[in-house]
Amino acid sequence: MRIVSLAGGIGGARFLRGLKAAAPDSEITVIGNTGDDITLFGLRVCPDLDTVMYTLGGGINEEQGWGRAGETFTVKEELAAYGMEPQWFGLGDRDFATHIIRSQMLAAGYPLSQVTEALCDRWRPGVRLLPMSDDRTETHVVVSDEAGRRAIHFQEWWVRLRASVPAEQIVLVGADEARPAPGVLDAIAAADVVILPPSNPVVSIGTILQIPGIRAALEDKTVVGVSPIIGGAPVRGMADACLTAIGVETSAQAVLELYGSALLDGWLVAEEDKGVALDGVVVEARPLLMSNPEATRDIAAAALTLARSLKS
Ligand code: GDP
Ligand code: CA
């Protein structure tokens, strides 16, 4: 079976580990979010691609969910000793190596998709990991504070401010001119089923869907999504702040309506969200907490079973 999955960072990566376990003989292509990408100290950092790569490749810091296992922070401390900003983004020594190689390859003219493939040569994530686009797009957040009304990089809002300042707007800069990375539309066209993991519906999945051509290609396929919202709240993280910014309630029902019936054929919700419904979408309620690898595998298996049953 050929499976395509979209993915953000931690939530997406953990789900993908379950998906691999649920479908060991399938060919899985992951379309990763690059709206969170940021240039720091002259280095191009792709947090979501790296989280997927490290998680599936066995290099992730399991407790934290991002960054490398066994990490040290000597470079970060040395930069801070020089007073170098920003100091709010945690880059470890091991992680730095990834960003150095990526930046060097990008500077040599390789597109991000080829850089990602080269990095995955080491990590062997067991999926084909594609960035949503080789073109640079960045999620920016419009906020108002003492400094006035301004747009800041998503990471500054998410990591430095912990989304404590309300987002007035969330914009994917460069979206209109961006093209899907090579292989993305072909993988979607060849897919038997498409699965949307419980990644952030605004700044992860929503970002990928904004790359011209991707949503339309997905609408032709059998797509099943897993709700990231359980009982009116995100399971972890601050997805509620992102949903509020785009005027969407934090509920499994509202995220279902946000994705819509043109995109989704099936929607998995948690048992406490039984009753969620939308014309044209088959909704199933089941346990949705990715509390351990087995529970996560069972969620992914349920998504696949639903998708197969809906495939016309
Ligand atoms: P990303 O969007 O994939 O980068 O992942 P995040 O780690 O930011 O999490 C995205 C979403 O996943 C959040 O809205 C969480 O509510 C949701 N999430 C995290 N853990 C779980 C879980 O165990 N079950 C479900 N259903 N959603 C989860
Ligand atoms: Ca993310």
Q: Return the CATH fold of 2-134+177-311.
A: Rossmann fold (3.40.50)
Q: Could you write out the three-class secondary structure of 3-69?
A: EEEEECCHHHHHHHHHHHHHCCCCEEEEEECCCCCEEECCEEECHHHHHHHHHHHCCECCCCCCCEC
Q: What's the CA gap between 194 and 28, in Å, rounded? A: 10
Characterize 102-130 residue by residue with b for buried, 16 or more Cβ atoms within 10 angstroms of its Cβ, and e for exposed.
bbebbeeebbbbebbbebbeebebebbbb
What is the band of 1 on the pLDDT scale with cuts at 50, 70, 90? very high
> How much is the pLDDT for 237?
85
Query: Which ligand 1 atom is nearest residue 227's CA?
Result: 26
Q: What's the DSSP call for residue 281?
A: B
Q: How far is the CA of 229 from the centre of ligand 1 (A)?
A: 8
> How much is the pLDDT for 146?
85
Cα distances from 21 to residues 304, 305, 312, in angstroms, run 12, 14, 25
| pLDDT single digits (tens) 26-53 | 999 999 999 999 999 999 999 999 999 9
| pLDDT single digits (tens) 91-141 | 999 999 999 999 999 999 999 999 999 999 999 999 999 999 999 999 999
Residue range 242-259: average pLDDT?
Answer: 97
What is the band of 312 on the pLDDT scale with cuts at 50, 70, 90? low
> How much is the pLDDT for 111?
98
CA gyration radius, the chain: 19
Percent of the chain whose pLDDT exceeds 90 = 97
To test the pocket of ligand 1, the residue of 10, 139, 208 to mutate (highest count of ligand atoms within 8 Å of its CB) is 10
Cα distances from 126 to residues 54, 129, 308, in angstroms, run 11, 9, 22
Q: What's the CA gap between 3 and 6, in Å, rounded? A: 10
Instruction: Tell me how crowded residue 308 is: count the other CB atoms within 10 A of its CB.
Output: 13
Q: Kindly list the protein residues whose Cβ atom lies closer than 6 A to any atom of ligand 1.
A: 8-12, 48, 198-200, 204, 226-228, 230, 234-237, 239, 288-290
Asked whether the whole model's pTM tops 0.85, one would answer yes
Q: What's the DSSP call for residue 123?
A: H
CA dihedral 173, 175, 178, 182 (to 10 degrees): 110
- Written as one letter, the residue type at 181 is A
Q: Rounded to the nearest 5°, which phi and psi values hold at 145?
A: -145, -160
Residues facing residue 99 across a β-bridge: none
Residue with tokens 């809906």: 310
> Which tokens sit at 55?
């998680």
- Note the ligand closest to the C-alpha atom of 300: 1
| pLDDT single digits (tens) 212-235 | 999 999 999 999 999 999 999 999
Q: What's the DSSP call for residue 166?
A: P
Query: In what helix (H) or strand (E) does residue 282 lie, and over which residues does it extend?
Result: strand 282-285
Residue range 153-171: average pLDDT?
Answer: 95
- Note the ligand closest to the C-alpha atom of 199: 1
Residues facing residue 196 across a β-bridge: 225
Ligand 1 atom 9: the closest Cα is on which residue? 11
| pLDDT single digits (tens) 286-304 | 999 999 999 999 999 999 9
Q: What's the CA gap between 225 and 277, in Å, rounded? A: 13
Query: Which ligand 1 atom is nearest residue 10's CA?
Result: 7
Query: Which ligand 1 atom is nearest residue 12's CA?
Result: 3
